[in-house]
Amino acid sequence: MKKLFLLGLFAASLGINSCNDNETDAGQTATVNVKLTDGPAMYDAVKIDVQRIEINANGEWIPITFPNPGVFNLLDFKNGTDVALGQVVLPVGSVSQMRMILGNNNTIVVNGVSYPLQTPSAQQSGLKFNWNQTLTANGAYNVWIDFDAGKSIVKTGNGSYILKPVIRAFSELTDGQIKGYVLPAASKPIIHVIVANDTIATALPNTDGFFMFRGLPQGNYTVSYDAENTTGYMDENQSNVNVVFGQINNLGTKTLHQ
């Protein structure tokens, strides 16, 4: 009888603790700040009409507070530059996906000429991409939407352009970074991050040679500095470039030679 009595008390205690845990989570929230950044592209401008951003929290699509919807030139946000889109307060728990709903005013500028960007799927159900995160009570999270303009544009045989978005999201907890400078500007370099012979990210340096990669997975990479063929400068590679979440691997200045 004594053993049965003690087992009963133990089971009741588990039930009480479980209830208390649920009550602790009930009504608890976290704040998420959403920003937009971009991978580069060889165009004059890539302008997308962002009307709404939603986050799937615990199976429910919740819109962020988005004060200034409208047209954003993705090429303004390269090499670590970003723009704040908005904020949302979410219940604690799991976040699985985000989606971006675009308007009709999407264009691309190529050699000074503007063309419409066809985006049929985005105007209906939205552009969906994964962001897996467990939100804790009173947490504050920054999440970046990385819209790869270079990989997202498809030119058709009749000369029109279609937007087939390549998008990923990363937070401060999944943000591996590489930065540096490449000179001279006359070499017209393009920088690639490569793993197992696959290019996973590309950067076009600023006028001063600065470049930056963000949101890279942890791992070991080769950074390739590719000079434009017509400049007479030689390509160079830097191997064993290590990326760790929450850290910036500063590669310093790379000078390409003829």
Does residue 173 surpass a pLDDT of 80?
yes
Do the Cβ atoms of 95 and 139 come closer than 8 Å?
A: no
Does residue 20 surpass a pLDDT of 70?
no
Half-sphere exposure of 71 (CA within 13 A, CB side): 10
Do the Cβ atoms of 98 and 133 come closer than 8 Å?
A: no
CA–CA separation, 44 vs 76, rounded Å?
10
How would residue 35 be classed by pLDDT, with cut points 50, 70 and 90? very high
CA–CA separation, 54 vs 67, rounded Å?
14
Q: Which of 222, 247, 246, 249 is nearest to 236 (CA)?
A: 222
Amino acid present at 53: I
Contacts of 100 (CB under 8 A, 6+ apart): 50, 52, 53, 122, 126, 127, 129, 145, 167
pLDDT at 150 (0 to 100): 87
**Domain segments of the chain as ranges:** 28-174, 176-258
Do the Cβ atoms of 172 and 131 come closer than 8 Å?
A: no
User: Which CATH entry fits the domain spanning 176-258: 3.40.190.10, 1.10.10.60, 3.20.20.70, 2.60.40.4130?
Assistant: 2.60.40.4130
How would residue 10 be classed by pLDDT, with cut points 50, 70 and 90? very low
pLDDT at 122 (0 to 100): 61
Number of helices (H), then strands (E), belonging to the chain: the values are: 3, 20
Kindly state the percentage of the chain with pLDDT values over 90: 76
Contacts of 115 (CB under 8 A, 6+ apart): 107, 108, 109, 160, 161
pLDDT at 1 (0 to 100): 47
